[in-house]
Amino acid sequence: MTMQDRISSNTNLVAFSREGKRTMETLIPLYASSGYRVLDLNFCEMMNPSSILNTDKGWEYIEKLKEEKHKYRIDYIQAHAPYPRDYLSLSNTEKEKSDMEILLSMDYAAALGIPQIVVHPIKGSIRENIEYFTSLLKRRKQPIRLAIENMETASEIYSADSLLEIVKPLYPECSICLDTGHAHMAGENIVSFIRKTQNYLTATHIADNNGKSDQHLLPGFGTICWEEVMKAFKEHYEGYLNYECMFFSRALPQSVSESVIELSLSIGEWLLSLAAEESAP
């Protein structure tokens, strides 16, 4: 895979707008026609109780996504599972419901040929997280990998060291997803994070912010130093650089969605140029 093939996006990039929210199957043709060749599917849609993915027609929706994959010649390289906001505070019934939604999203992803799905750690100890993910792995029906994402607050699993403690005993069935925006908010050194986790890092959420709130901005619109980050990616990571910038254009009308997508691809070219500069003699 060349550097030029590495820019991806979650399907939620232009999902939010002044007119409301659009679901991913209506957006995939737009991403494909604008130039994206790989995408991250947003199964967080399942957190909306009215989502078709939570009904008996969910598999019809998956068939539609499969048809679009072939029609537009794109690949789905990762997905994002729904997540509980505070798993340990839930009742046993609520925990089971959350588990079943995540397991179903894993089934959906596997059916679409997706090799890994991003999951959130729970608000708990290292031991509790290992037990939680071990349980999910035992109950999954397909051999899809879980990529555990770093969170952004002190009450959550946010550091490279904590993620490594969770992932190492579960690897390769569990790996790490670096969310650059979360790391920036948590005060983590992103370059150091990449270096520490490089042997277990298989997924990314690329987003920018002001270091204070999870703004999900496109790179360059926040305060992350992308020159340093791209150098670290060039040296220590060979996977996809996948945008998770779903709120970037939410105040704009749907009529400018194509322009936002084109902007994201241009910014991707800029990021890749930073890496190319570092590799030049």
- Does position 106 have pLDDT exceeding 50, yes or no? yes
22 and 59 in contact (C-beta within 8 Å)?
no
Share the mean pLDDT of the chain: 95
The per-residue pLDDT for 281 is 45
Exposed/middle/buried for residue 49 (C-beta within 10 Å: 0-12, 13-18, 19+) = exposed
The pLDDT tens digits of the residues spanning 14-62 come to 999 999 999 999 999 999 999 999 999 999 999 998 999 999 999 999 9
- Does position 7 have pLDDT exceeding 60, yes or no? yes
The pLDDT tens digits of the residues spanning 170-223 come to 999 999 999 999 999 999 999 999 999 999 999 999 999 999 999 999 999 999
The per-residue pLDDT for 4 is 53
Q: How far is CA 240 from the centre of its chain?
A: 11
- Does position 280 have pLDDT exceeding 50, yes or no? no
Q: How far is CA 185 from the centre of its chain?
A: 17
The per-residue pLDDT for 276 is 84
The per-residue pLDDT for 278 is 52
The pLDDT tens digits of the residues spanning 112-152 come to 999 999 999 999 999 999 999 999 999 999 999 999 999 99
Q: Give the whole-number percent of the chain exceeding pLDDT 90.
A: 95
Q: pTM for this structure?
A: 0.96
Domain topology for 3-279: TIM Barrel (3.20.20)
169 and 130 in contact (C-beta within 8 Å)?
yes
- Does position 238 have pLDDT exceeding 50, yes or no? yes
- Report in angstroms the alpha-carbon separations of 168 from 23, 115, 165, 172: 35, 19, 6, 8
248 and 218 in contact (C-beta within 8 Å)?
yes
194 and 233 in contact (C-beta within 8 Å)?
yes
